[in-house]
Structure 1
Amino acid sequence: MAKKSSEKSTSFWKYILYFWLLFISLVVGIVLIFMMADWGFLGKMPSFEELENPETNLATEVVSSDGETIGKFFHENRTPVHFDDLPENLIQALVATEDERFYSHAGIDAKGTLRAAVYLGKKGGASTITQQLSKQLFTDPTRVGIINRLKQKIKEWVIAIRLERQYTKDEIITMYFNIFDFTRGAHGIRSASRVYFGKEPSQLKTEEAATLVAMFKNPVLYNPYPDRFKQNSIKRRNQVLKQMEKNEFLTRKEKDSLQQIPLVLNFTPEQHDDGQATYFREHLKGFLKDWAKDNKKADGSSYSIYSDGLKVYVTLDSRMQNYAEDAVNRHLSNLQKEFDRQNKTNSKAPFRGISDAQIDRILKREMRNSDRYRRMKKRGASDEKIEAAFNEKHEMQLFSWEGNIDTIMTPKDSIRYYKSFLNTGMMSMNPQTGAVKSWVGGINYKYFKYEHVKQAKRQVGSTFKPFVYAAAIDQLHYSPCYELPNTLYTIPKGRHGLIDDWTPSNSSDDYGGSKTLKKALAESINTITARLIDKTGPKRVVDLIEKLGVDTKDIDAFPSIALGTPDLSVYEMVSAYSTFANKGVYTKPYFVERIEDKNGSIIYQHLPETRDAVSEETAYVTVNLLEGVTKAGSGRRLRTNSEYIKNLPHYKRAVTGYPFDLANPIAGKTGTTQNQSDGWFIGMVPDLVTGVWVGGEDRSVHFPTITYGQGATLALPIFGMYMNSLYEDENVQVSDGEFDKPDYLSIQIECDDLEDEDDEDDEDDFIEFNSDF
């Protein structure tokens, strides 16, 4: 009996020993597994340096001069925020929902892990915020299989512990918010807040914060946009609010009240085709790519504008940009209606004055320039097959001023449809600093990619005439009161390289008597401009505009340039006119103030480029001449005392924003080219110069008559609406005073008082010469 009792006792202690051996082995095994994971035997682990600087794709942010983010460049739309930028309700919502014991564990929640193991995850998972961060930063969630998933889980635990040692709790919270992909192009909490609610994270209301935190469970299933997921989003948001109540971040009354609030979004996508200053941002992208090629990081690698988290501080003012875009949209949406009305009886619409063969060449040229053509050509398709594809009908979405149109149309017909739209280029700059303040390169970047501020060059018409007058003032010391005959004038062949006699005529056939230079420019008299360029010589005029920043390599020094035959860009015209407003000093336009890296270090700083172009006296006298245009010429339509514009047929349908009510000193010039293909207005106040061009993408797309086809109707109203908006905004400082007068003037400027005539045909500034369309 004693023997059996002894054997039982021995067996008992043997089991105890086995148990402890097994337990110790298990513990040692687990520790060993974790050590092996830490040493990298289960796959590559992040180094100390990688933990210190985890690699994430950070968007380059474009910041306006008034501190607003107007765009981004990115592979992932992620702009990091600091902990201080996160509102308390957002942090509370995350902790209450994702990791209640976040502030008490060291990376792994033992209680949560045990609960998950016992209930097989039915009562919630065990991943802490730190584990979820480690998973997103340093592990590969795409690997499948139980063994791989177990390895991943062990690595998550190890990395989570290392993260907890490396960072504070606040830093871990911040990193997690910054790394998470909220979909819809919103990477990180700042982008998500802006995309879904149109505001910064610090401005989020509690119910909005809960909506974003709800997406951590599943950013697709609980996404508040589009509507098909809205109910899922609301249900999950309310669960987050319940968790906030459970963790005593909300009272029950607050929770019940917030759960009743409807889900209201301000969905504002931040893709490149969306938002403000789209054409400017595309031009800026080219600038940044060129800059990145020539500038390296400290380690010798190249900067990436898509992932290095740069901050680009630009000169654009977001408010001025908004007013510029608004003026373009208001005017052209109405002008387009009148343009379409007049095209109803045009059998070749939208083209005029060209043959069917020429129209076909235009359409084929556009086909060859299209992405569809390039894709098919790359696949080896023949021209016949490609052309056949352009004549097959497809479902497509078209732009219209009333909203996008879903329709079925052939690609070739869609090309012709888009040719029917009037387009625009508009730019403003400060003439003293060269800072570009607004830039509108077209009516809609998504549908019209061609940029009309710097990329496009069009004939400038009579906006070129002030350069001829400035040359005469600078070289011949002519006064605005100097008189010349208003008669037909011939420059004979042989002079200035002419191969035939050149006798320009006035558009109104108004001849006789003489006119002062001030009145001649105000009325845009062609014959007097011809006399002036004959006296100065066209070469002197070309030399002058080169000093004003114009690219002259394609401009032949013939007398006809006096009437505006050169093709120039809005960018060139604005910078050239700015020299007159800046007392004769040319200042090169610029649009990037500085660039900072992700750590805030300045890696680029703008340096101004200036040069003396004309004397201060010449500049002021030229400005004085241009003020006459807005007092008695076509530019007088900016004033309230002109009845001309109100009496135009259909005018109210074509132009909004009248009267412009601009009584302050404004210098400016309209321009209209042959067949009304191009309408221009360049306007100046002492600290802002603005240029506007309006026309069709092709020169054969235009109004049939000068009534609507002149610069004073096409382009000037955009300037008027824009300036009105600037002056109405007390937070935007734009001068409404006089231009600075030199201390000494040797040239007489006070001569005749220009009369404000109501002559309907006062736009004498279109070109009379043949042009190759």
Structure 2
Amino acid sequence: MDKKKKTNISQEAIRWIWIVAFAPVAVLLVMLLLTAAGLFGRMPSFEELENPKSNLATEIYSEDGKVIGSFFVQNRSYVQYADLFPADSTQHLRLDGRSVPPIVAALVATEDARFRSHSGIDLPSLVRVGVKTVALRNTSQGGGSTISQQLAKNLFPRDTVGRRGRIARTGKLVLSKLKEWITALKLEYNYTKEEIAAMYLNTVEYGSNAYGIKSAAHTFFNKEPHELNIQEAAMLVGVVNAPTRYSPVRNPENALARRNLVLQRMEAAGALDAAQRDSLCVLPIVLNYKPVSHNEGSATYFREMLRLVMNADKPQRRHYGNDWDYEQALREYEENPLYGWCRKNRKADGTPYNIYRDGLKIYTTINSAMQTYAEQAVQKQMETVIQPQMDAQYKRTKVLFLDASPAERERIVRRAVRSSDRWREMKAAGASEREIEAAFDRAQPMKVFTYRGERDTVMSPRDSILHHKRIMRAAFVAMDPRTGFVKAYVGGPNFRYFKYDMARQGKRQIGSTIKPFVYTFAIDHLGMTPCTPVPNLPVTIETANGTAWSPKEAGKVEQLGELHPLSWGLARSRNNYSAWIMKQAKQPAAVADFIHNMG
């Protein structure tokens, strides 16, 4: 009897052991089912997984196919898996019996060694995490996330829970993990392993404002992804873990150690042999660092002009000083497809295009070589000729605005101070005008622009404004006269310091460029020819308000009344010949109307 009782107790104990052992598994399965059903929050649909959305940079191309700039929230451009393979097949690596690009070999070896054998969730890694990370508190073992799970987190970021309590944060983390597992399984169902690897490389952050492997390769090595060698690929994969800590720019020693760790893991995975690993580990990291910025690079003023034009709203009359300007702007908006393009065109879902997020490809007529030459020409002329003349004048006179009274000079500087970012930011922060004025008179370390390069110095913000007011500026636009295509466009000396685009925004007297149109009026409306004789004499025109206008010539020229053909006056840009034509028209306004009608 006693023996039978003992046997019953043993069976009861065994049953409870099985219940306790399988209870977590059962709970986990139930949680997964409830999560998949959306009980703990919305899950991405299959449609969203088939068309994942992320911020894609808009790329601007020159006529010769070079990327001259981009607009972005996150500097990201997509590449296909096939585009990751080096052109030289000897650079391809073998991993799990397959030929793979170096960047993929580094990724799989570092982040998910069993990438090919699981379906989104790596059970051995989960067991390892459960024992070593959770039970033994050994966080060096990592989180056990597969590449598919990390991709799920990148495409559909977790909810931030920084202000919640510890229990709430833990619960939210568990739910986020469950969602990532289910999303990873869906990704594995929808995409091939190659597509998942490429999507991962296209979505992660590499630091220095580079998102995606294409941007990272350009930023750190000025290369296309397929041009990366093994050690460069290893460095980029290593930096993903902590973009700041392993940045080769900010922390080169950490970056080197991390790169060599990736190379060791590549050897352990079978992508490299020991000799290859040893030879690569002794190589230094050689960067060709070119961070992307709206303020840097080629054709910065052109890119900004393009952004403003493509995002332009339909003109409103209240924004223009006269009817003619408004009518011309409205006509351009209606007839020029580029003007307001992002407002006029709609995506498939009916929303307008976003130039920062929708990955547009903008092909321009800019010639990258001509653009470079134009920028160099402006820089050289301003540095060696124009700015030295201004500096000599200021040194001689100690006056910045020669033709202005002291009161006018003070108004100019005060207006510049109040228009500065520093003034607006301090005002918005609640500082009084007295406090702001005092801050503008207090010297501090800063960088200022010079034509010989950016300079570190110590001066007050007010003095820095005066310094930059002394910088002479110029614009340069080159066009193909047969097509009207813009080949080079320089709006100023440095877009970071001088946002004002003198090529597009600058308002100047039209000067002698008006004269060919005046002569065209003479031929078209007055029946003259290039051979029509005209006396070389001063000309006076009575204006509508009763005053007389007598144009002067540049320099000392004699006007003795001799007859010269009309073409002689145009070739020498003589002001009296242009005035003579307008006087023959009886109504000078008719000449102006004619020029307006020519656009």
- Structure 2 length-normalised TM: 0.84
| Greater mean alpha carbon deviation, residues 38-47 or residues 119-128 | 119-128
Counterpart secondary structure, 2:307: helix
2:147 equivalent to 1:129 = yes
- Mapped partners of 1:384, 1:522: distance in 2: 58
Aligned to 2:11: 13
Q: Distance in 2 between matches of 1:57 and 1:524?
A: 54
- Answer yes or no: is 1:371 the counterpart of 2:425: no
Q: Considering only aligned residues, what root-mean-square deviation do their CA atoms show, in Å?
A: 2.4
Residue of structure 2 equivalent to 1:80? 78
The match for 1:528 is 577
Question: 2:387 touches 2:472 (CA, 8 Å); kept in 1?
Answer: no
CA shift for structure 1 position 416? 1.7
Q: Distance in 2 between matches of 1:217 and 1:508?
A: 69
- Taking a change above 3 Å as real, the CA distance of residues 510 and 432 of structure 1, as seen in their structure-2 partners, is closer
Identify which of 345, 357, 364 aligns with 1:307: 357
Q: Tell me the distance in 2 between the aligned counterparts of 1:257 and 1:321.
A: 42
Find the aligned partners of 1:28 and 1:115 in 2 and give their Cα distance.
Answer: 19
Post-superposition Cα deviations, 1:740-768, rounded to whole Å, max 9, x if no partner, equal: xxxxxxxxxxxxxxxxxxxxxxxxxxxxx
Per the alignment, in what secondary structure is the counterpart of residue 355 of structure 2? coil
Q: Give 1:24 shift.
A: 4.4
By how many angstroms is 1:33 displaced?
1.7
Contact preservation (8 Å) 2:203, 2:212: yes
Structure-2 residue corresponding to 1:743: none
Which moves more between the two structures, 116-125 or 324-333?
Answer: 116-125
Residue in 1 that maps onto 2:112: 99
Query: Closer, same or farther in 2 for the Cα pair 1:535/1:242, shift >3 Å?
Result: same
Q: Quickly say closer, same or farther: Cα 1:260–1:25, change in 2 above 3 A.
A: closer
Partner of 2:568: 519
1:113 equivalent in alignment to 2:126: yes
Aligned partner of 1:40 among 38, 41, 50:
38
Q: Cα deviation per residue 1:678-713 (whole Å; 9 max; x = unaligned)?
A: xxxxxxxxxxxxxxxxxxxxxxxxxxxxxxxxxxxx
Aligned residue number for residue 97 of structure 2: none
Change (3 A) 1:22 1:508: closer
2:274 corresponds to which residue?
Answer: 252
Amino acid at match of 2:175: K
Q: Distance in 1 between matches of 2:264 and 2:52?
A: 34
Q: Which one of the candidate residues 534, 552, 556 is aligned to 1:505?
A: 552
In structure 1, runs of 5+ residues without a counterpart are 550-773
Distance 2:470 2:37 in 1: 67
| SS of equivalent residue, structure 1 residue 215 | helix
Q: Which moved more, 1:337-346 or 1:398-407?
A: 337-346
Amino acid at match of 2:286: V
State the Cα deviation string for residues 530-578 of structure 1 (Å, max 9, x = none). 22222245333312321332xxxxxxxxxxxxxxxxxxxxxxxxxxxxx
**In structure 2, the residue corresponding to 1:459 is in which secondary structure?**
coil
1:618-697 correspondence runs (5 A)? none
From the superposition, tell whether residues 379 and 134 of structure 1 become closer, same or farther in structure 2 (CA, over 3 Å).
closer
The residue correspondences of 1:192-591 to structure 2 (distance < 5 A) are 192-226=216-250, 229-290=251-312, 291=340, 292-378=342-428, 386-491=436-541, 493=542, 497=544, 499-511=546-558, 512=560, 513-536=562-585, 537-549=587-599
Structure 1 range deviating more: 267-276 or 428-437: 428-437
Q: Any idea what SS the aligned residue of 2:494 has?
A: coil
Counterpart of 2:327 in structure 1 is none
Q: Distance in 1 between matches of 2:423 and 2:157?
A: 42
Deviates most, 514-523 or 432-441? 514-523
Matched, 1:142 2:160: yes
Please say if 1:29 is aligned against 2:79.
no
Partners of 1:504 and 1:151 in 2: how far apart? 81
CA distance in 2, matches of 1:508, 1:221: 65
**Do 1:397 and 1:407's aligned partners in 2 also have CA atoms closer than 8 Å?**
yes
Counterparts in 2 of 1:470 and 1:327: CA distance versus 1, 3 Å: same
| 1:337 positional shift | 4.5
Change (3 A) 1:29 1:388: closer
> Residue 139 of structure 1 contacts residue 156 of structure 1 at CA under 8 Å; is this kept in 2?
no
- The 8 Å contact of residues 390 and 472 in structure 2, kept in 1 or not, is answered as no
Q: What is the rounded CA distance, in whole Å, between the counterparts of 1:263 and 1:106 in structure 2? A: 35
Which whole-Å CA distance do the structure 1 matches of 2:9 and 2:431 have between them?
A: 85
Q: Which moved more, 1:457-466 or 1:497-506?
A: 497-506
Q: Which amino acid aligns with 1:533?
A: M
| Structure 1 SS opposite 2:473 | strand
Check the 8 A contact 2:532/2:566 in 1, yes or no: yes
Secondary structure at the residue paired with 1:458? coil
What is the CA–CA distance in structure 1 between the aligned matches of 2:201 and 2:283, rounded to whole Å? 24
- Residues 423 and 93 (structure 1 numbering): CA distance in 2 closer, same or farther, change over 3 Å? same
Cα pair 1:486 1:527 within 8 Å, conserved: yes
Q: CA deviation at 1:446?
A: 0.6
Please give the per-residue CA displacement for 1:692-736, whole angstroms capped at 9, x wherever unaligned.
xxxxxxxxxxxxxxxxxxxxxxxxxxxxxxxxxxxxxxxxxxxxx
Shift of 1:139: 4.3
Q: CA deviation at 1:474?
A: 2.6
Separation in 2 of the partners of 1:24 and 1:417?
A: 76
Q: Give the superposition deviation at 1:217.
A: 1.9
What is the CA distance between 1:341 and its match in structure 2?
4.7
Name the residue aligned to 1:186: 210
The whole-number CA distance in structure 1 between the counterparts of 2:291 and 2:106 is 24
What is the CA distance between 1:114 and its match in structure 2? 2.2
**Aligned partner of 1:285: which letter?**
R
Amino acid at match of 1:107: G
1:390 maps to a residue whose letter is: F
* Contact kept in structure 2, 1:45 and 1:138, CA below 8 Å: no
Residue 576 of structure 2 aligns with an amino acid whose one-letter code is T
Report the Cα offset of residue 443 of structure 1.
Answer: 0.7
**Rounded Cα–Cα distance in structure 2 between residues aligned with 1:141 and 1:254:** 43
CA distance in 2, matches of 1:376, 1:15: 73
In structure 2, relative to structure 1, the CA distance for the partners of 1:508 and 1:93 (3 Å cut) is same
Residue identity opposite 1:44 in structure 2: R
Contact 2:59 2:69 in 1 (8 A): yes
**Structure 2 letter corresponding to 1:32:** V
In 2, the alpha carbon distance for the partners of 1:436 and 1:399 equals: 28
Q: Which structure is higher in helix share?
A: 2
By how many angstroms is 1:461 displaced? 2.4
Q: CA deviation at 1:95?
A: 0.7
Separation in 1, partners of 2:274, 2:578:
81
In the TM superposition, residue 300 of structure 1 has moved relative to its aligned partner by 3.1
Q: Amino acid of the residue matched to residue 274 of structure 1?
A: E
Tell me the amino acid that sits aligned with residue 137 of structure 1: L
Question: How many angstroms does 1:307 deviate by?
Answer: 1.8
Contact 2:387 2:471 in 1 (8 A): no
> Match of 1:49, as an amino acid?
E
1:517 Cα deviation after fit? 3.4
